[in-house]
A and B are shown apart, each in its own frame.
Chain A
Amino acid sequence: MSTNILSVGALESEAIYILREVVAQFEKPVLLFSGGKDSITLVRLAQKAFYPAKIPFPLLHIDTGHNFPETIEFRDKLVKELGVELIVRNVQDNIDAGKVKEETGKYSSRNILQTETLLDAIEEFGFDACIGGARRDEEKARAKERIFSVRDDFGQWDERNQRPELFDMLNGRIDIGQNVRVFPISNWTELDVWSYIQKEGIEIPSIYFAHQRETFIRDGLIWSANDEVVYREEDEKIEQRTVRFRTVGDMSCTAAVLSNASDIDKVVEEIRVSRISERGARIDDKRSEAAMEKRKQQGYF
Chain B
Amino acid sequence: MNVLKIATAGSVDDGKSTLIGRILYDTKSLTEDKLQAIEEKSRQRGFDYLDFSLATDGLVAEREQGITIDVAHIYFSTPKTSFIIADTPGHIEYTRNMVTGASNSQASIILVDARNGVVEQTYRHFFINNLLRVKEVVVAVNKMDLVDYSEERFNQIKGEIEYLAQKSDYKNQKITFIPISALHGDNVVNSSTNINWYSGKSLLEYLEDLQPFESTNDSKARFPIQSIIRPKTEEFHDFRGYAGKLYGGSLAVGDKVTVLPSAIESTIKGIHFFDREYNEAKSGSSFTLTLEDDVNIGRGDMIVKKGEEPRVTKQLEATICWMDKSPLQVAEKFYIKHGVNDAQVKITSLENSIYTDFSGEVTNPSKLSLNEIGKVSLKISKPLLVDSYKDNKSNGAFILINPKTNNTSGVGFIN
Residue contact B239 to A162, C-beta cutoff 8 Å: no
Interface mask (B398-409 → A, CB under 8 Å = 1, otherwise 0): 110100001110
Contact mask for chain A residues 176-192; partner B; CB cutoff 8 A; 1 contact, 0 none: 00000000001101011
Beyond A10-B3, A137-B73, 15 additional contacts (C-beta under 8 Å) are A6-B271, A6-B282, A8-B284, A16-B286, A47-B274, A51-B274, A51-B288, A143-B72, A160-B70, A166-B397, A169-B398, A169-B399, A189-B77, A274-B31, A293-B60
> Does B74 touch A at the CB level, under 8 Å?
yes
Within 8 Å CB of A164, what residues of B? 96-97, 99-100, 323, 408, 411
A20 near B31 with CB under 8 A, answer no
Of B196-204, B227-235, B301-309, B354-362, the stretch lying at the interface with chain A is B227-235
A6-B285, A20-B226 are contacts. A54–B231 as well, Cβ < 8 Å? yes
A156-178 interface mask toward B, CB cutoff 8 Å, 1 = contact, 0 = none? 00011011111111010111000
Q: Whole-angstrom distance between the alpha carbons of A166 and B86 in the complex? A: 12
Q: Considering the chains assembled together, what is the distance between the CA atoms of A280 and B31 in angstroms? A: 9
Closest to B403 in A: A173
Which residues 275-326 of B have a CB within 8 angstroms of A? 275-282, 284-288, 299, 323
The 8 A CB mask of A9-23 against B (1 = contact, 0 = none) is: 111111011001101
Chain A interface (Cβ within 8 Å of chain B)? 1-14, 16-17, 20-21, 23-24, 47-54, 136-137, 139-144, 150, 159-160, 162-169, 171, 173-175, 186-187, 189, 191-192, 274-277, 280, 289-290, 293
Whether the pair A5, B59 counts as a contact (CB closer than 8 A) is no
A53 near B394: Cβ-Cβ < 8 Å: no
Known contacts A143-B56, A280-B31, A289-B41: does B84 contact A187 (CB below 8 Å)? yes
Is B28 in the interface zone, CB < 8 Å from A? yes
Interchain pairs with CB closer than 8 A, number: 196
Q: How far is the CA of A140 from the CA of B278 in the complex (A)?
A: 40
Query: Chain A's interface: helix, strand, loop or mixed, by majority?
Result: loop
> Cβ of B84: which chain A residues have Cβ within 8 Å of it?
187
Q: Are A52 and B233 in contact (CB under 8 A)?
A: yes
Given contacts A5-B278, A10-B284, A169-B339, whether A293 and B58 have CB atoms under 8 Å apart is yes
When distances are taken between beta carbons in the complex, the residues of chain A under 8 Å from B229 are 50-53
Q: Is the CB of A136 within 8 A of B339?
A: no
A2 touching B279 by the CB < 8 A rule? yes
20 contacts between A and B (CB under 8 A): A2-B279, A6-B285, A7-B284, A20-B226, A20-B244, A47-B274, A51-B229, A52-B235, A53-B231, A53-B236, A143-B74, A159-B70, A160-B59, A160-B69, A163-B407, A166-B99, A166-B104, A168-B394, A173-B401, A274-B31
Instruction: Considering the complex, give the chain A residue whose CB is closest to the CB of B226.
Output: A20
Closest Cβ of chain B: how far from A192's Cβ, in Å? 7
Residues of chain A within 8 A of B407, CB atoms compared: 163
Q: Is the CB of B287 within 8 A of A4?
A: no
Across the interface, do B286 and A17 meet the contact criterion of CB distance under 8 Å? yes
Report yes or no: A290 in contact with B273, Cβ–Cβ below 8 A: no
Quick one: which of B195-240 are within 8 Å of A by CB? 212-214, 226-227, 229-233, 235-236, 239
Closest 3 CB pairs of A and B: A140-B58, A6-B278, A280-B33
- Whether A140 contacts B57 by the Cβ 8 Å rule is yes
Knowing A144-B71, A167-B104, A276-B33, say if A293 contacts B59 (CB, 8 Å).
yes
Are B71 and A52 in contact, CB atoms less than 8 angstroms apart?
A: no
- Which residues of chain B are within 8 angstroms of A12 by Cβ–Cβ distance? 286
B: number of interface residues (CB 8 Å): 82
Are A192's CB and B82's CB within 8 A?
Answer: yes
Contact of A275 among B32, B77, B231 (CB under 8 A): B32
B226 contacts A48, C-beta separation under 8 Å: no
A280 vs B34: C-alpha distance when bound (angstroms): 8
Interface hub of A53, A137, A166, A191 (most chain B Cβ within 10 A)? A166
Q: B129 interface residue, CB < 8 Å from A?
A: no
B55 within 8 Å of A (CB atoms) = yes
B236 touches A52 (CB 8 A): yes
Check B331 for interface membership: any CB of A closer than 8 A. Answer: no
Q: Are B287 and A189 in contact (CB under 8 A)?
A: no
Residue among B99, B104, B214 making CB contact with A7, cutoff 8 Å: B214
Q: Is B61 engaged at the interface, CB distance under 8 Å to the other chain?
A: yes
Known contacts A136-B75, A143-B58, A173-B401, A10 near B212 by CB under 8 Å? yes
* Cross-interface CB contact of A5 among B57, B226, B272, B281, cutoff 8 Å: B281
Knowing A10-B214, A50-B229, A173-B335 are in contact, say whether A143-B31 is a contact too (CB < 8 A).
no
Q: A8-B286, A166-B99 are in contact. Are A276 and B337 (CB under 8 A)?
A: no
B406, A171: Cβ atoms under 8 Å?
Answer: yes
CB of B144 within 8 Å of the partner chain: no
Do A13 and B276 form a contact, CB below 8 Å, given A136-B75, A166-B100, A293-B58?
no
Known A-B contacts A166-B397, A275-B32; A143 and B73 likewise in contact (beta carbons under 8 Å): yes
Contacts A162-B70, A166-B99, A166-B399; A140 near B56 (Cβ below 8 A): yes
